[in-house]
Every structure is written in C-alpha cells, then in structure tokens.
Amino acid sequence: MSGLGTARVADRRWATCARVVTAHVVMLRDAGHFEDEVLAALLTAIDGVGRGQPPDAGTTGDLVAAFDERVAALTPAGAVGAAALGRSGLEVEAAIARLTLRDDVLAALVALGRVRLALHAVATEHLGTIMPATPAGRPAPPTTLAHLLGGVLGPLGRLAARGRAVAIEAGQSPLGAGVGMSTAVGIDRENVAERLGFEGVVVNTVDAVAATDWLVAAGAWAAEVSVTVSRIVSEWLGWSGQVPGVIRLADVGGGPGRVGTAADGTVDVALGRVVAMTRAVTADADAARVIAHALGFGPVAVLDGVARPATSAVGGAVEMLDAVAALLPALVFNRALLANRAGKGHTTSGDLAVLLIERENLEPVAAQQIADGVIRRARAEGLEASAITSDIIDAVALLVIGRELGIEVEEISRYLAPRRYLARRTATGGPETAATRAALDRDRLRLGEDIRWSEETADRLGPVDTRLDTFVAGILADADQGGRY
C-alpha cells in the first residue's frame, strides 16, 4: 500500500484512540455518570496509555481492544470499566477511521491547491507558447500550452469541490452507536462529536458502524485525482520520448523538494515516478471497493479491511500531489520545438473554407469543395498547409466554380498560420490569448475560494485538540489540589 509507513500509521491511530476515549469519558462526566475525581482517575490512565507504544501488529480493532485493556489495568479498582461505559470498540474503530481519513482528505485538498497554483503559474508563463494539442501523438490542431493546461485545471477544480464533500461526509461521528443498536446508558452523541471536531453525527446507529460508502468514496476521489494527474504527466512523458528535448528539468536548488539535477535523474525518471505513484493510489482505491463489495450488510467488525486501503489511497494521493507540486516549477518546455510541430499534418487547413466564405463570398458548399480539393492536392504533393499557394487554390477553383480567385499569399497565411489560426478562436474558453487568460483568471478565483475554505477549516479544527488538552489539564490540576481518587 502507498501512504504512511506501518509503524507511523499505528502510532497515529493509537493517539487518535486516546483522544476518542478521552472525549467519551468527559462526555460521561458531563452527563452525570460520575464525578470529577473519577474522571481524573480515568484521564490519568488514558494519558498514561496514550503515551505508550501501540501493539506491534493487528487490526485497528485489536488496537482499540489493547488500549482498553491497558486503561483498565491502570484504573483504580473502584473505577475499572468506567472508561468503556456506554460504548463499544467498534464505534471507536469507526471514529478512528473517520478522523484519520477526514484529516488525510483535508491534507490532500491542501496539496491539490499547491498543484493547481503551480499549474496556473506554468500556464500564465506559456500563454503564447503554440503547440499541437497532442505533440507526441497523431496530428492535432494547434493550441497553446496555457490552453492545454486549462484543460487540466478544470477537472482539478471540480475534484476539489468533490473532495470537500468527501471530507465533510467522513467528518460525521459514529460515536454512541455501540455495535449498531446504541446503548441504554444516557449519552450525549453531539457532546463527544463536538469535542473531537466532527461536523455532526451519523444519525442512524446502524449506518454509523455498518456503512462503507464514505470509505469507498474517499478512495475513489483519490483515484480520480490520480487519474487526472496521471493523464497529463503521461502525456508529457510521451512528448519527452517522441520529441527529444521538448521538455526537460531545470535545477531549482536544494532542499526536500529538490528536483531537476543530474543526481535526481532525467525528466523521464521524474515523470515516471509520478505515474507510478498514481497507479499505487488507484490500486489501493480499487482494493477498498472490492473489499467493501464482499462484505455482508450490518455492523462491520472488519471495517479495517476497507479503511486501510482507502486511507492508504488518500495518503498516497497526498504524497503524489506533493511530488507534482515540487516538480512543476522545474519543468522547462522548449517553445521552439513545440511551435515547429504546430500546424503540421494540415491541422489548420480546415479554415481554408472559412477564408473562401468570408473573403470571397463563396457559398459554403462550393467553399468546402474547393478547400477539400486543395488539401487533397497538397497532401498528394507532400506539401504542408504553410506551402499552399494561390496557384493551387486557383487550379482547384477552376474545376469547381469555373474561375480563379487570385487570393494573396498573405491572406492565405492569415487563415492557415498556426498563430493566426488561434487568434480567431476568441469564444469563451478558446485558445486565443485573451480568452485563455480570462479562463485562467476564473480558475484562479475558484482556487482562491478553495484555499480560503481549507484555511478556514484548518482554523476551525486546529484548536480542537488544544481545547480538549486544556480541559483535561484543568481536571487533573484540580484533582492534584484536592487529592486523587
């Protein structure tokens, strides 16, 4: 699996388990199930266990069981079992999965924002860089590198919006669900959800511990992000292989994000590494979906089987996006090589009919017949669109409409030269410079809104742990002054 190492994952889940159990016992005190002195004894035990090492191996369910056992061992005799009052290990397992996955999706959204910023910067730099739409593939009409990258920024912006929904859905608390039938103990589900920074609660208690849709959706979202990135990176890898020198790495200096020096390898190595990372993400996402599909309905005692690959997929997406954000500023595109390939294969010749209609006032049918005949003749003679002359047009026009047209070479160039071909495509979202710039500006505004949402969410969730720590510290301080349980 991609994402964090096994030991680090266990440490993270252990710490999250400690916070979940802490919030639960605080809620029990708030609900009147015991006094502050009992709470202090429980919090002291939970804190001691939380600072220890998690079990060497096992599922998240095994981890929760081990945590409860250690807490019970450190709890004074009169309070043993109080920490687990009114809850199950299954709901804690689900809460750990939701909190860690929600945080990973939020981290992925921040990394996605950095990639979008870097792509926007590259696009802005290359507003005038003319190229064929697929320089490494079959002949395609010319566009600009900025316009092409706008086609990547669009789906990444939509994916950011979907990622926000995935984060919000994962951020619903399952606590209080028990094993699906809740508990007869008087609890306050909203209280513990708020203390842990959840958005709300999963209302139906079976749903809270039985559903896997939020896990599959998170993995699928990570896979969609990876597929979008993989498509453009694989395209660049194709350019590099088929048009040597068209793309290379610049040296952007040292540091953790260092790319582009001889020691780091070629551009092919850097791009290939990203493609491999995207494939690992999609493999994890597929695993989560397959495992979830095989589960029967009901409280999922093997939730971990779906949560692990789903979380790994999202964690892998964060790593991949970080790598892309570091790589993009180091990519150098050869403008001359790209421009040299633009317009080849008669990809602009379709505008010859437009010329005949607009400048010669020919009927559309006649204009198209002449244009088709000219292109056939030019191809037969091995000529590109840039070599089409007035004589070739006149020869075909005589056959179609019985007269010559006498079009100037400059007029032909005005319609068939790649730069002029693009200059006429001014419709919204088109490749003309002003149209592309306007579209990029809209993408930048959308990105700004997404960045603000991430910042506001971080500002809201950041103090959650601090508030809980402060509350716990106050309870323990009071207990020290009044004598422990």
Give the tokens for residue 323.
């790598």
Q: Give the strand pairing for 172-173 and 142-144.
A: unpaired
Per-domain residue ranges of the chain? 6-339+447-482, 349-416
Biggest CA pair distance of the chain: 111
**Helices and strands per DSSP (H, E), number in the chain:** 17, 6
What pLDDT, in 10s, does the model give residues 148-183? 999 999 999 999 999 999 999 999 999 999 999 999
What pLDDT, in 10s, does the model give residues 308-342? 999 999 999 999 999 999 999 999 999 999 998 88
Query: What's the Cα-to-Cα distance from 150 to each of 296, 334, 384, 475, rounded to whole Å?
Result: 43, 19, 29, 55
What pLDDT, in 10s, does the model give residues 51-77? 999 998 788 999 999 999 999 999 999
Q: What pLDDT is attached to residue 259?
A: 41
Query: What's the Cα-to-Cα distance from 408 to each of 313, 358, 371, 389, 461, rounded to whole Å?
Result: 59, 14, 16, 8, 68
Q: What pLDDT is attached to residue 136?
A: 59
Among residues 158, 154, 193, 166, the alpha carbon closest in space to that of 104 is found at 166
Task: Among 113-122, 233-242, 469-478, name the most confident range.
Answer: 113-122
What pLDDT, in 10s, does the model give residues 444-464? 999 999 999 999 999 999 999
What pLDDT, in 10s, does the model give residues 247-275? 999 865 544 334 433 334 689 999 999 99
DSSP letter, residue 137:
S
- 186, with CB counted inside 10 A (0-12, 13-18, 19+), is exposed
Give the whole-angstrom CA distance, residue 229 versus residue 271. Answer: 11
Does residue 243 carry a pLDDT above 60?
yes
Among residues 151, 145, 389, 155, the alpha carbon closest in space to that of 246 is found at 145
Q: What pLDDT is attached to residue 153?
A: 97
> Could you tell me the pLDDT band of residue 300, with boundaries at 50, 70 and 90?
low
Give the whole-angstrom CA distance, residue 374 versus residue 389. Answer: 10
What pLDDT, in 10s, does the model give residues 378-418? 999 999 888 999 999 999 999 999 999 999 988 998 888 88
Amino acid at 102: R
Give the whole-angstrom CA distance, residue 112 versus residue 216. Answer: 20
CB 113 within 8 A of CB 324: no
Amino acid at 412: I
CATH class for the region spanning 6-339+447-482: mainly alpha
> Comparing 46-55, 131-140, 452-461, which segment has the lowest mean pLDDT?
131-140
Query: What's the Cα-to-Cα distance from 412 to each of 300, 376, 390, 395, rounded to whole Å?
Result: 69, 17, 8, 15
Note the pTM of the prediction, 2 decimals: 0.90
Q: What pLDDT is attached to residue 134?
A: 75
Amino acid at 53: Q
Give the whole-angstrom CA distance, residue 172 versus residue 176. Answer: 12
